[in-house]
């Protein structure tokens, strides 16, 4: 069983899964697999989403802002790629 303090609530299963409404406005869900089924979309209205492991998408990942990288930005990668050369070959030109 979950030890609760005054003002907290929890539901739990006999397998150890639980939803715990904790003090400090924290909701903790503990389970092996969390499945959310939404026929249209899932929306998070929050300034930050964190993951402690990998993030995998089956479809495209889109962003209205620059996708930041610890090493360099996507634009920096484009700038490097657009002027690269192999041996004595000329720098590639943009096709119109």
Residue-wise pLDDT tens digits, 16-34: 999 999 999 999 999 999 9
Let me know: does 73 contact 66? Beta carbons within 8 Å: yes
The whole-number pLDDT of residue 69 equals 63
User: Got the DSSP string for 22-49?
Assistant: ETTTEEEEE-S------SS-----SS--
The whole-number pLDDT of residue 94 equals 59
The whole-number pLDDT of residue 30 equals 97
The whole-number pLDDT of residue 22 equals 97
pLDDT tens figures, 46-85: 999 999 999 899 998 888 887 776 667 778 777 877 777 7
CA distance 96 to 89: 21
């Amino acid at each position: 069983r979950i030890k609760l303090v005054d003002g907290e609530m929890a539901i739990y299963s006999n397998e150890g899964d639980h939803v715990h409404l904790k003090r400090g406005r924290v909701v903790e869900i503990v389970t092996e697999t969390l499945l959310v089924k939404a026929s249209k979309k899932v929306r998070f209205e929050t300034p930050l989403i964190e993951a402690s492991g990998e993030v995998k998408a089956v479809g495209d990942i889109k962003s209205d802002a620059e996708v930041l990288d610890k090493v360099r930005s996507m634009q920096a990668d484009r700038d490097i790629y657009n002027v690269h050369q192999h041996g004595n070959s000329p720098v590639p030109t943009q096709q119109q």
